[in-house]
């Protein structure tokens, strides 16, 4: 069985990943705050930009809702609703229209049957189920010295890692779609595109960080299991 020292010392594996995740989150907040103060020259709000992009792609049936919170923006493929936070919905900044169009990118992916998005949506229930049981099963396996439970814990946690990995192409592709459409629809001028790229690029790094944290946690669980034996 792993002693307390071994359990806590293995946390060292997670420190670099957590530091990177914290840095990525700081970049998101910093870039969004910076470019949320820069008004776009078309003087359109995030909601208006989203509506234009959706309509241009034949998605006039997709609704746009206002939700509470900051950077809580999302697209729900089940209800086909884009939810925008207040700063994005009402904001007429470069950051606002960039984030809004990114979420529209997900709606376009859904409409086109974008394969990585379909795969991610399929594994969401498995990933949620697995991640909720992984650590309890693994810890019980360590305490009772039952290798089968340890293996199940590691297997279930791997589903969360797969989900994080599947999220990366979906998010990067949504940002690429947003940038192309914003130019095609004349929502931004050339010098504004740089600000949009910084906002969306910083947001993408949070998904890279989430994958790194999950990978290091998986490596930690495998190392703990092997060291016990």
The active-site residue, picked from 103, 150, 171, 192, is 103
The SS3 assignment for 49 reads helix
Rounded alpha-carbon distances, angstroms, from residue 145 to 134, 151, 218? 16, 11, 19
Distance CA 5, CA 115 (A): 44
Contact by Cβ (8 Å): 62, 54: yes
Give the separation between CA 29 and CA 36, rounded to whole angstroms: 10
* Region of 64 on the Ramachandran plot (φ > 0 left; ψ -120 to 50 alpha; else beta): beta
Whether 48 is catalytic is no
82, containing H or E segment: strand 81-85
Catalytic positions, please?
103
């Amino acid at each position: 069985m792993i002693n307390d020292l071994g359990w806590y010392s293995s946390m060292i594996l997670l420190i670099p990943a957590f530091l990177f995740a914290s840095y990525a989150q700081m970049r998101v907040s910093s870039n969004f705050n910076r470019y949320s103060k820069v008004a776009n020259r078309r003087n359109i709000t995030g909601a208006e930009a989203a509506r234009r992009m959706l309509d241009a792609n034949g998605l006039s049936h997709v609704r746009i809702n206002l939700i509470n919170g900051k950077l809580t923006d999302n697209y729900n493929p089940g209800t086909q609703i884009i939810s925008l936070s207040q700063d994005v919905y009402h904001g007429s900044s470069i950051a606002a229209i960039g984030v809004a169009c990114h979420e529209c990118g997900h709606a376009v992916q859904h409409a086109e049957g974008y394969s990585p998005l379909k795969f991610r949506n399929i594994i969401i229930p498995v990933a949620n189920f697995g991640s909720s049981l992984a650590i309890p099963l693994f810890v019980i396996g360590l305490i009772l010295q039952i290798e089968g439970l340890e293996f199940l814990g590691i297997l279930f946690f791997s589903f969360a890692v797969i989900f994080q990995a599947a999220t990366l192409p979906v998010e990067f592709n949504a940002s690429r779609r947003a940038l192309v459409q914003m130019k095609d629809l004349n929502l931004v001028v050339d010098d504004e595109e740089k600000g949009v790229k910084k906002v969306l690029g910083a947001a993408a790094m949070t998904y890279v960080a989430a994958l790194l944290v999950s990978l290091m946690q998986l490596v930690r669980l495998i190392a703990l299991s092997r060291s016990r034996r």
